[in-house]
Amino acid sequence: MMKGNERMGQNIVEKILSAHLISGELTPGREIAIRIDQTLTQDATGTMAYLQFESMGLDRVKADLAVSYVDHNTIQVGFENADDHAYLKSVAQRYGVVFSRPGNGICHQLNLERFGKPGGTLLGSDSHTPTGGGIGMIAIGAGGIDVAVAMGGGPFYLSAPKVTLVRLTGRLSPGVSAKDVILKILSVYGTNGNVGRILEYGGPGVATLGVPARATITNMGAELGVTTSVFPSDEVTRAFLKAQGREADWTELAPDPDAAYDQVLEIDLGTLEPMAACPHSPGNVKTIAALQGMRVNQVLIGSCTNSSYRDLKTVALMLRGRKISPDVEVGVAPGSRQVVDMLAREGLLADLVSAGVRILENACGFCIGNHMSPGSGAVSFRTSNRNFEGRSGTQSAQVYLVSPETAVAAALTGYATDPRTLAFTAVAEPAAFPIDDSMFLFRETAGRGVPGTEIVRGPNIGQVPQGRPLDRDLDGVVAIKVGDRITTDHIMPAGARLKYRSNVPQYAHFVFEHVDSGFYGRAVADRDAGLANVIVAGLSYGQGSSREHAAMCPMYLGVRAVIAKSIERIHRANLINFGIVPFVFDNPADYDGIGTGDHLVIDGLRAAVEGDGHALVRNTTRGTAFPVSVALSERQRILLLNGGLLAAVAAGAVS
């Protein structure tokens, strides 16, 4: 970084990005391209990512490491999920991808344990890929098509970020844990308005946090809307990697003494108290003291946020010799086989079972509403990272996001209870973890592949839809108008619907299913009548999952533009990748003068994208007009003009 003619030292973010920079400069807001060392996919997004990789015509993956995890749709009701798993296994062997079998665990926990390397870059087709920042990686969530490009050795494009230093001091009190740290940060910054920013953690308090705690914080940092979060790599990191038998992967990583930051947030860990994200947003944070005495019906512990050995041993010790409340349903989902192995070896599984806990599969399950949905109107305390309305699988459920300690306190009492009233036994990081990589297949052919492998394609494996070149003008209709903080779960429902993820024509039937059940019929009618569909939205459109189907399925249904007050980073990139123009209102108040069914016209749509991105929208239904704009790099212009990334590659417009 330069200050006048004087060169300043680099922070951790700048060090990693500089070492991986392919093009551009680290000026906040400018587009840069970086080299990706590792990629990960999970089954809910992976099938489409590998179908897109196949379409590129490459003979093998070219990233240093690519791993395909199966952790989302592990419940096999009907043939679809089993067929998708067979496809993923065969395509992994064919192209040199490491395949993590169902039951091995959750991708982010596993990648942290077995593959993460300080100072490296990781791109994953899951929005919680920033978990890798806990071990000192620049780990970013993206759409499957961006991950497919990275697997093929191509660069990843992003805006050079602003960097905020979160300076930690002090030490957490017993009963307060890493989940409370990130909930505190969410209470400060909220869930929108943080696009184009990376959080870097520093200060003397960092040394008091183990790698699993750091990973909890970076994992749920995704809910802030930041690009990613990263911790230093220090002796704590080294000890974790040594315990995993991977000390050779350790690299020290710290900011220069004179490193500069855009902002600094000071947090004294010793002042924090137990907190909860209340319905229906991770940013709706209150203290447990404010909720004291509220009845709790269900407690679920696990997910990629809080399923480590440290977290679950803490839970087991808190439950030892006790029984859960008879009015509370409790489930625990470990993050990996390694965690289960350690709990079993130490007799801790017996403590959980004896207390009345249901032991769940090592998978994402309850977090994505794929099982353990609460009863009607039930209050569910969960250690996961999202509590969007209906995400649990029950539209009327009230989901609160809490730490494992707070979850146990509620499980024992049946009410929201301050966990600091309970006794605690400190859990030390083990000197060695049991290592069994037998459920990671094809490590011997990683990066090489087996060309003769037959790829298994069940009837649920469809084709990747391609966009068409951008029209000269837009003649369209508002297919739906939605409000603020519409998530990708609102756009494309998860849970049981995810089994159609490999079949876009089928999955498209459920676009906006829980927001407006008439959307699909209207969109098809408009598309077939030759009209472009337009989505109008409020603030922070496209929060949440990196699921590119939230752009791909609308594209299939004829959506050509989104006009919103603001759009979140990953979803905006996915819209461009699938040829949908992501406009924002120049004057947010113009949102109020539009309704579903209004006829919209943009004369010179293509010229606007080719030019400065400014356009005038005429609402012929209401006789009004309003300005919109889209800020694009040259590469993004090419993608939109050609109808998306795959269409641009096919046309030879990009390589």
| Contact predicate 307/341, CB 8 Å | no
Query: What DSSP letter does each residue of 487-532 carry, written as one string?
Result: BHHHHS--GGGGGGTT-HHHHGGGTTTTT-TTHHHHHHHHHHTTPE
Give residue for tokens 């007799």.
347
Q: What is the DSSP letter of 293?
A: T
Q: Could you tell me the CA-to-CA distances from 579 to 549, 609, 638 in Å, in that order?
A: 13, 11, 10
Task: Give backbone dihedrals phi and psi of 440, rounded to 5 degrees, phi first.
Answer: -95, 110
> Using N-to-C axis directions, what is the helix angle for 144-151 and 43-55, rounded to 10°?
50
Residue whose pair of structure tokens reads 């309704």 in the numeric block: 595
For the annotated catalytic residues, the residue numbers are: 71-72, 126, 386, 545, 547
637 phi and psi, to 5 degrees? -60, -45
Cα distance between residue 373 and residue 355, in whole Å: 21
Tokens of 54: 């196949």
For residue 432, the 8-state DSSP code is: -
CA distance 568 to 584: 11
Strands 624-629 and 581-585: antiparallel
Write phi, then psi, for 286 (nearest 5 degrees). -135, 160
Smallest Cα–Cα separation from 43: which of 107, 116, 94?
A: 107
Q: Residue 260's Cα: distance from chain center in Å?
A: 28
Q: What would the two tokens of residue 514 be?
A: 């829980």
The DSSP string of 111-155 is HHHHT--TT-EEEESSTTGGGGGGGT-EEEE--HHHHHHHHTT--
Scored b (16 or more CB within 10 A) or e, 597-628 reads ebebbbeebbebbeeebebebbbeeeeeebeb
Alpha carbons 446 and 54: distance in angstroms, whole number: 17
Q: CA-to-CA distance for 261 and 68, rounded, in angstroms?
A: 35
The verdict on whether omega for the bond into residue 280 sits within 30 degrees of 0, i.e. cis, is: yes
Cβ partners under 8 Å of residue 180, min gap 6: 172, 272, 273, 274, 275, 403
Residue with token string 């096999």:
76
SS3 272: coil
